Amino acid sequence: MAEPLLELRDVRAGYGEAVVLDGVSVSVPENGSLALLGRNGVGKTTLLLTIMGFVRVSRGSLWFKGRDISRLPPYRRARLGIGWVPQERDIFPSLTVEENLTVAARPGRWSIEDMYRLFPRLKERRANMGNQLSGGEQQMLTIARTVLTNPAILLLDEPLEGLAPIIVEELIAAIRTMAKDERIALVLVEQHAEVALGMTSDAIVIERGVVAHHAPSAELLNDQAVLDRYVGLNLREG
């Protein structure tokens, strides 16, 4: 059996004396996609921050490409190929869209032209400064910049939060293309469970810092009892 691209083994992590994640074990295969679901405050963002190295692991270990990265600083993890798209949009406001992309680009499978195909709005705005973009366009630029570092896996923390519906649709299409057509590995935190499950192959539900449920995304999408219990989502309403 192939070794996972990313694996967490019995991870305990938190802030100071506060334990947020306790005994979390999960893996993402090469080209796999994983949704992290659960109510607010259960540890989803902390899990991403732990993978990136911003939160200390007090027990267990993290493995990436067959290497224990538990003690590596965030910049070393990024260089190894873990791409991070935080909730805060990370662009250079005084550079143009194209300059933002050029600064981030590293050799690999993804090019600036690929990003323009994924995000046509960015091509239209290529000469605009970062601070001239809407919030949704800045989010597109943040994702595109990260992908241009050519990571092996992409961590996305609520990339659709607070955006206009038309922008949300365009971002969903782009992320789905990356995950399902281009086969880039990704881990996605998203409040709207039905959206996250539609973009990923597998899902875990976190409850009080532990993995309460793990299933294929398509299976979980049809498991109303689990969604009601852990996510508070009733797909049959509305």
**HSE toward the beta carbon, residue 157, CA cutoff 13 A:** 19
* One domain for residues 156 and 58: yes
For residue 208, what are the CA distances in angstroms to 24, 26, 37, 68, 187? 11, 16, 12, 26, 19
d(CA 210, CA 187): 17
* One domain for residues 96 and 128: yes
Overall number of domains in the chain: 2
pLDDT in tens, 197-224: 999 999 999 998 999 999 999 999 999 8
Residue 129 three-state SS: strand
Q: Which among 112, 110, 116 is positioned nearest to 101, based on CA atoms?
A: 112
* One domain for residues 14 and 101: no
Domain of 202, CATH number, reads 3.40.50.300
Q: Which among 155, 7, 190, 180 is positioned nearest to 81, based on CA atoms?
A: 155
pLDDT in tens, 70-126: 999 999 999 999 999 998 888 999 999 999 999 989 999 899 999 999 999 999 999
Residue 137 three-state SS: helix
* One domain for residues 32 and 129: no
* One domain for residues 225 and 137: no
Q: Supply the pTM of this predicted model.
A: 0.91
